[in-house]
Amino acid sequence: MATPFKEVLNSGKFVVTCEIAPPKGTNLEKTLHHIDLLKDKVDGLNATDNQSSVMRYPSLGVCLLIKERGGEPILQMTCRDRNRMALEADLLFAYSRGVNNVLCLTGDAITVGDHKQAKAVFDIDSLQLLRTIRTMEAGKDLGGNDLDGVPQFCAGAIVTPEAQPIEPQLIKFRKKVAAGAEFFQTQAVYDMGNLRKFMQVARPLKTKIMAGIVLLTSAGMARFMNTNVPGIFVPQALIDEMSKAEKGKALQKGIEIAGRMIKTIKEEKLCDGVHIMAINKEETVPDILAAAGL
């Protein structure tokens, strides 16, 4: 049995979570392999929710698999594909099956994904989803009706420490803390100086911050993210380091860099933990952890 995530968060230990991508289809083989590989190495496994607006096996389904295999699931919930009733119903279902950790997200825009003609919902936003969870825990649904059986969650949210401009992002961040976000998994941060700056703002607030670590797989990928992913900035020095890697060794270099950043974050006690996103390379997470000395 995995330790409940809430307990880990409150233990003061350096928290490590990572991301599991649900499959596009019913073939669960790879997902199960990743769960089995990582469930005992990290404190929580996030199951992504139609990530990047690409339709996939549901996050709740992957959370149940993680639970069955003895891991600690973190249910990612976006507000893009479900209205408030559907989100509330899924929260009830999740809790009833032992899925007690939720990461509340707004969700990417429909237009970036693979169902471009679909209707975007956004009935509520990430902050209101957090509030919904706290309301349900108090025994009420959003219609003001009593619940017969009340859920209890460990609820978290996300923040982009390098958003430009940063001020509106920080206002929303503070509102999320006020709405009861117990933890934050941040957007990828590569510039430790910028992370330190963000943490000066975040530290006084009563919440746990886990720095987002996205594995670099090549210099090209780093450049692509700089151009195309809002809020991600890979410093030129890291891009140079990636491009200098020997042929066929770029992934190895990316693992080394991720490990180095995690080590810095832990040693400097910069954040309360890290959230590793090894997109499509989940099998490298044990190597990243080893490189970080974890």
Partner 1 sequence: MISVTEQKPWEEIAQSIDKCKSVYIIGCGTCTTILHTGGKGEVLAFKDKLITAGKNVTGWMVIPTACDEITKYALEASSKEIAGADCLLVTSCAYGVQRITQWTDKPAYPAVNTLFIGKEDGNTYSEVCHQCGNCVLAWTGGVCPVTSCPKGLLNGPCGGTNKGMCEVDSTKDCAWTLIYNRLEKQGRLDLLEKEQPPRNYQAVVRPGRLITK
Binding site for partner 1 (CB under 8 A): 80, 84, 106-109, 111-112, 120, 122-128, 131, 142, 158, 160, 163-165, 167-169, 171-172, 174-175, 178-179, 187, 230-231
Compute the least distance from the CB of residue 7 to partner 1, in Å: 28
Report the C-alpha gap between 53 and 120 in whole angstroms. 10
154 contact partners, CB below 8 Å, separation of at least 6 = 4, 5, 6, 9, 100, 101, 102, 182, 183
Considering beta carbons, is residue 100 or 160 the nearer one to partner 1? 160
If the CB atoms of residues 1 and 138 are measured against partner 1, the closer one turns out to be 138
Q: How far is the CB of 109 from partner 1 (least distance, A)?
A: 5
Min dist. Cβ of residue 142 to partner 1 (A): 7
Q: How far is CA 182 from the centre of its chain?
A: 13
Return left, alpha or beta for 99; rule: phi > 0 is left, psi -120 to 50 is alpha, else beta: beta
Q: Which is nearer to partner 1, 28 or 121 (CB)?
A: 121
Q: Of the two residues 91 and 127, which places its CB atom closer to partner 1 in the complex?
A: 127
CA distances from 57 to 118, 284, 286 (A): 17, 22, 24
At closest approach, how far in Å is the CB of 57 from partner 1? Answer: 23
Q: How many C-beta neighbours within 10 Å does residue 155 have? A: 27
CA nearest to 253, candidates 264, 261, 265, 241 = 241
DSSP assignment string, 25-62 = SS--HHHHHHHHHHTTTSSEEEEPSSGGG---S-HHHH
Q: Nearer to partner 1 by C-beta: 148 or 167?
A: 167
Least CB distance from residue 170 to partner 1, whole Å? 9
Kindly state the smallest distance separating residue 175's Cβ from partner 1, in Å. 6
Taking the least distance from each CB to partner 1, the nearer of 31 and 185 is 185
Instruction: Choose among 101, 93, 45, 33: nearest CA to 71.
Output: 45
The H or E element spanning position 158 is strand 154-159
